Structure 1
């Protein structure tokens, strides 16, 4: 049985993993959903300045005392999750990138964006006091979510710390050395990004797919939990 450290993506808290965590524990595993500093119940007016290193520390802290750890990082949180995984040594069973970004040493979350995309993000941060504002309901269309699920996600989302998405990752060791599964959610695009495809050339990495949207913990919790229990 594994200890699953579940890290939600941008704007979300540990609550996003409720269904998946319950399913994992029904199968005899332990689940430890994480709320990153500055988000959900940990959101504060000054949370915009939360450094990325703090999010890495949050994940490391969640794995403290665990010995057979599977770290699952969704979306943005692949970046802190991957950095944390590199610090766990032989306590790490596997790192799972769930339709996520991956940490590249010296590069930020938005490093690979187009100049237009980076300018848009800078404008978002400037207009929101350093926060990255949550998505609107329209942004979740076509991602295999019900109207009720979209309403819940939008209502419970909190602004994301801008500093965390603009600071570069710092890797303790190459992530190609770690036992890794990258999970591609096919409704959010049929193939992983170029950096992910390059990393998948490592014999330590494998690719899995889910036929659902970018937020599978809501749209396909049973399929996601079943995939994770096979890790």
Structure 2
């Protein structure tokens, strides 16, 4: 049995992994979707980036997990990778799904034209408002899947997006599968490229959009299981 801790990206909670978790459990594995502080059922809990890192580390400790696979999607690649450093030999592998990666001294909003996001955070009491339905066009999602995301999304704590990461080691040293969703761009973001050049990272491509837990849950679950098994 493999223990998966599943962390979704901005605006989403543990609920986003319902279908993937069901597939993993049906195959005999252990799935623990995690909602980060300030989101979904944890709305109202103050959160910065360090809070989200602790959320992941504490979940692994609370459950007493060893040989764990940490899965981070989109924004959550940053706290997941920082947590992976901290759990040490409890980690089997990290899987980053179309995800950001931490760069020491930089934030989620560093390195790209993030002015509109910063303005939105300032205009919404420190929270990044969820996307509208039209923003999900071209991402391989059905109308029903888009409605599910939009209806379940909650504002994302802005502090987690602007606080700089403090990287202790190098993510390149962690055994990692990076899943690139091709409808969201052919190549991983620039910060990922040097990590993939090392011998501990592998690249897997999915012919779908940025939210494969909704658009291709069965395929994503298979990739997670194969990554955990080293295939």
Q: TM-score, normalised by structure 1?
A: 0.95
Q: Distance in 1 between matches of 2:181 and 2:10?
A: 17
RMSD: 0.9
Structure 2 match to 1:59: 56
1:119 Cα deviation after fit: 2.0
Across the two proteins, how many residue pairs are aligned to each other?
225
Counterpart selection for 2:136 from 137, 140, 145: 140
Q: Which runs of 5+ in 1 are unaligned?
A: none
Larger mean Cα displacement after TM superposition, 168-177 or 124-133: 168-177
Q: TM-score, normalised by structure 2?
A: 0.95
Q: Which runs of 5+ in 2 are unaligned?
A: none
Q: Distance in 1 between matches of 2:166 and 2:22?
A: 33
Structure 2 match to 1:152: 148
The answer as to 2:96 corresponding to 1:100 is no
The Cα offsets for residues 84-136 of structure 1, whole Å up to 9 and x where unpaired, read as: 0011111101011100100111110010112xxx3212210111000000000
Q: Distance in 2 between matches of 1:152 and 1:228?
A: 23
The Cα offsets for residues 134-169 of structure 1, whole Å up to 9 and x where unpaired, read as: 000000011111101111110110000000000011
The answer as to 2:121 corresponding to 1:125 is yes
Runs ≥4 in structure 1, deviation > 2 angstroms?
A: none
Q: Distance in 2 between matches of 1:59 and 1:177?
A: 19
